[in-house]
Structure 1
Amino acid sequence: MRKLSNILQLGIKELRSLYRDPALLLLIVYSFTLSIYSQATGVPESPFHATIAVVDEDRSQLSARIIDGFQEPYFLKPSYITLSEMDGGMDTGRYTFTLNIPPGFQRDLLAGRRPTIQLNVDATQISQAFSGAGHIQRIIDDEVMEFLRRYRGASATPVQAVVHMAYNPNLVQSWFGAINAIVSQITMLSIILTGAALIREREHGTIEHLLVMPVTPFEIMSAKVWSMGVVVLLATALSLRFVIEGWLAVPIPGSTLLFLGGVTLHLFATTSMGIFFGTLARSMPQLGLLIILVLLPLQILSGGMTPRESMPVLVQDIMLAAPTTHFVELAQAILFRGAGASVVWPQLLALAAIGTAFFFGALSRLRKSLH
């Protein structure tokens, strides 16, 4: 009971220290609100109000149909310019796309030749360039094919594949982006908060006070793990309810309580990692550099951005030791596919085992650094 009381009181002390740190509080609020929203909606699924200019040197029925295909809200009303104005408009950033329809385009097409249309893309407009170029290509292809067939409508094919989109019927990018963002924020914040809590003790000189008190390194570490873990867990629950389900309108078919249980096991591992990094670093800048070196590989290679199956087998095997690999599988299974405990129990078991190993590894390092 005395040990439990020490862990409780030391954890409350950590919460009070965090309450007096406005920078970390602002980071927590931003990471679980605006950061998730911006990551979920930052990459557009299609162009939106993209600026386009057209050099129509053909002045034919087909060129007019192609230009009429650029409709709002995907594109602003196309601007008619001359060939000499095209480079200037791109250089000054007035147009993201410029389309040059050459003279005799319709005549050459009807004669069976293969005329070309020049499309210039301002690749510095990253959010619009890549999705917009593909969108323009589809518009041109559709209008040309319909013009040659003399009617609008899909042509009959011998075999037709009926596609059913499971779990995300409309392929809404923000659904995947929001879940991936909250997984990343949970990992990042838990490591930062626990590492910063240990470094704060060293910078403020309170670590010496703890050493002369009747508390053990196990109690010190347990207090930091549970207090910072509770903060991240609470922020996760609020963000899931009000930002992801409310603001972004992402449906959650699975059990929120089961997901939060998985978050708890994941936090057990990542907060221990934060303690370990806090023993290695001597200042907050050093902690930040260590976290960057570790966090980026964890996010990229855990399967949150690209499927693990597309990675080399050696990388897949190595990443099985990372808690993020199992947490990403668990989060996607519950929040996308509505999986229950009977499906995700291997990930829960793996997180518990990895968290235990990380906890005692960090505890051993903490004992050495304190003595």
Structure 2
Amino acid sequence: MRGLGTILWLGLKELRVLRADPVLLLLLLYTFTVAVYTVATGMKTEVRNAAVAVVDEDRSDLSRAIAAALLPPQFRPAVAMTPAEVARALDAGRITFALQIPPRLEADLLARRPVNLAIDVDATAISQAGNGSGFIQQIVQQEVAARLGGTASPIDLVLRTRFNPNSTPEWFSAVMQVVNSTLILSIILPGAALLREREHGTLEHLLAMPVTPLQILLAKIGANALVIVGAAVLSLLLVVHGLLGVPLAGSLALFVLGTVLFQLSVAALGVLLATVTSSTGQFGLLALPSIILMMLLSGSMTPLESMPPWLQWAVQLLPTTQFVALSQAVLYRGAGLEVVAPRLAVLAMLGAAFLGVTFLRLRRSLAG
């Protein structure tokens, strides 16, 4: 009980220090509010409001129907251009797609003669270019079938989209940004707290008191975890669910449990990086690539299925990969404890391993 009281006292000290630091408080507020909202609403890879031009050399009812079918939200209203204007507009970046309709399109289709339509694409935005050209091809085929009487297919394919029926990108990016913000702050805050103690000379004062390195480690991780988990929950409720309207399908308590276990490992990593550096600048140089690597390989920004098989297996040892999978299962699909229990167990083991290594390194660093 005396040891727990010491950890509680040290944790309260960390909270008072954090409260007195306006820069860290502003970073915490920005990361879980403005950053979540702007990333969810601003970073889009799907086709939205793409500029498209139509070179209509047929001037038939079918060609006008095709041009009129290029509608928001995927496309802006189509702009009529000549071939020379299209080339200049593509070079200047004013349009992304240019549909060229040849002469006698409708007459050739009615006569069952082959017809070629051309789509010029600005592929500097590769994801938008690929998806947008697919949409245009689908629109052309639908209009041709509607105007000229396409043959019915013997197969009626019905598509059912689960967990995100309207394929709204904010539903995915908002929650993943909360996960990424939790990762960033969980590494930065505990590591910065230890470095601040060393740079201000207060670490020696702590060592002169009846406290152990383990108590110092648990206090720094626990105090910052309390703040970060609380901020993440408020961000989910107020920004993600309240402001952006993203439904939270599963148990919030189960998500909090996973977040706490995730905190143990990544916060310990932040302290570990702080023990091998002598200044805040060096800590930032080590923390930045670590954060970027874990974010890119976690499945929150790129799908794990697109990675090589050996890398898919290797990234399972990263706490971020486990936490992203747990968050998606709980918050998107409403998974219960029986589904995510293996993820929780792996997070607990990774947290214990990181804590053990960090404790040994911290004790050696303080002894030196």
Contact 2:319 2:350 in 1 (8 A): yes
The separation in 2 between residues aligned to 1:254 and 1:54, in whole angstroms, is 46
Q: What is the letter of the counterpart of residue 16 of structure 1?
A: R
CA drift at 1:332: 1.8
1:20-39 alignment, distance < 5 Å: 20-39=20-39
Match of residue 282 from structure 2: 286
Q: Residues 12 and 223 of structure 2 are in contact (CA less than 8 Å); yes or no, is this contact kept in structure 1?
A: yes
Alpha-carbon distance, 1:129 to partner: 4.1
- What's the secondary structure of 1:98's corresponding residue? strand
- The one-letter code sitting in structure 2 at the alignment partner of 1:194 is P
1:90–1:122 CA contact under 8 A, matched in 2: yes
Q: Which amino acid aligns with 2:235?
A: S
Partner SS state of residue 245, structure 2: coil
Question: Is the Cα contact below 8 Å between 1:326 and 1:350 reproduced in 2?
Answer: yes
Q: Indicate whether 1:115 and 2:115 are aligned.
A: yes
1:212 to 208, 212, 216: 208
User: For residues 283 and 108 of structure 1, do their structure 2 counterparts lie closer, same or farther at Cα, with a shift above 3 Å needed?
Assistant: farther
Report the CA distance between 1:242 and its aligned residue.
0.7
Retained in 2: the 8 A contact 1:57–1:103?
A: yes
Shift of 1:60: 2.2
* 8 A contact 1:33–1:243 mirrored in 2: yes
Residues 46 and 135 in structure 1, CA contact (< 8 A), matched pair in contact too: no
The worse-fitting range, judged by mean Cα deviation, of 306-315 and 13-22 is 306-315
Distance of 1:120 and 1:149 partners within structure 2: 27
Q: Which shifted more, 162-171 or 255-264?
A: 162-171
1:299-310 aligned within 5 A: 299-308=295-304
The Cα of 1:250 is off from its aligned counterpart by 1.4
Question: Shift in Å at residue 73 of structure 1?
Answer: 4.1
The separation in 1 between residues aligned to 2:305 and 2:119, in whole angstroms, is 36
Q: Is 1:83–2:83 an aligned residue pair? A: yes
Return the alpha-carbon distance in structure 1 between the equivalents of residues 192 and 262 of structure 2.
19
Preserved CA contact (<8 Å) 1:44 1:127: no
Pair 1:92–1:290, CA change in 2 (3 A):
same
Deviation at 1:306, TM superposition (A): 4.7
TM-fit CA distance, 1:310: 5.1
- SS of the aligned residue for 2:222 comes to helix
Note the alpha carbon deviations across 1:260-305, whole angstroms, 9 max, x for none: 1111111111111111111122233322332233223323333334
Look up the SS of the partner of 1:350 in the other structure. helix
Q: 1:322-341 alignment to 2 at 5 Å?
A: 322-341=318-337
Residues 106-136 of structure 1: CA deviation (Å, up to 9, x unaligned) = 3444444433333233344678544433322
Q: Tell me, in whole angstroms, the C-alpha distance in 1 between the residues paired with 2:156 and 2:56.
A: 37
Shift of 1:44: 4.0
Q: 1:165 aligns with which of 144, 161, 166?
A: 161
CA distance 1:159–1:79, shift in 2 (3 Å): closer
Give 1:29 shift. Answer: 1.6
State how 1:161-240 maps to structure 2 within 5 Å: 161-240=157-236
2:209 maps to amino acid: M
Q: Which residue of structure 1 lines up, in the alignment, with residue 94 of structure 2?
A: 94
Which shifted more, 98-107 or 359-368?
A: 98-107
Distance in structure 2 (CA, Å) of the matches to 1:45 and 1:146 = 30
Displacement of 1:28 after TM fit?
A: 1.6
CA distance in 2, matches of 1:289, 1:205: 23
Q: Which amino acid aligns with 2:295?
A: Q
* Matched-pair identity in %: 46
How far off its partner does 1:192 sit? Answer: 1.1
Is the deviation greater in 361-370 or in 90-99? 90-99
> Structure 1 stretches of 5 or more lacking a match?
none
How much has 1:202 moved relative to structure 2? 2.3
Q: Is this contact kept in 2: 1:253–1:337, CA < 8 A?
A: yes
What secondary structure is seen at the aligned counterpart in 1 of 2:266?
helix
Change (3 A) 1:82 1:157: closer
Cα shift at 1:231 = 1.0
CA RMSD of aligned residues (A): 2.5
Contact 1:96–1:122 under 8 Å retained in 2: yes
Aligned residues: 367
The offset of 1:238, in angstroms, is 0.1
Q: Distance in 2 between matches of 1:169 and 1:314?
A: 33
Q: Does 1:356 align with 2:352?
A: yes
Large movers: runs of 4+ above 6 Å: none
Deviates more, 1:101-110 or 1:338-347: 101-110
State whether residues 194 and 271 of structure 1, in contact with CA within 8 Å, keep that contact through their aligned partners in structure 2.
yes
Instruction: Supply the AA of the counterpart residue of 2:196.
Output: R
Q: Which amino acid aligns with 1:57?
A: E
Determine the structure 1 residue equivalent to 2:55.
55
Amino acid at match of 1:148: L
> How far, CA to CA, are the matches of 2:302 and 2:69 in structure 1?
34
Contact 2:229–2:259 (Cα < 8 Å) also in 1: yes
* 1:323-364 deviation digits (Å, cap 9, x = unpaired): 222222221221122222222222222222211111111011
SS, match of residue 54 in structure 2: strand
Which residue in the other structure is 2:245 paired with?
Answer: 249
Is there any run of 5+ residues in structure 2 with no aligned partner, and where? none
CA contact (8 A) 2:46 2:127 kept: no
Query: What amino acid does structure 1 have at the position aligned with 2:100?
Result: N
1-structure distance, mates of 2:299, 2:337: 21
TM-score, normalising length: structure 1: 0.89
**Partner Cα distance (1:118, 1:149) in 2:** 22
- Provide the C-alpha distance between the structure 2 equivalents of 1:130 and 1:21, rounded to a whole number of angstroms: 47
Report the Cα distance in structure 2 between the residues aligned to 1:112 and 1:247, rounded to whole angstroms: 53
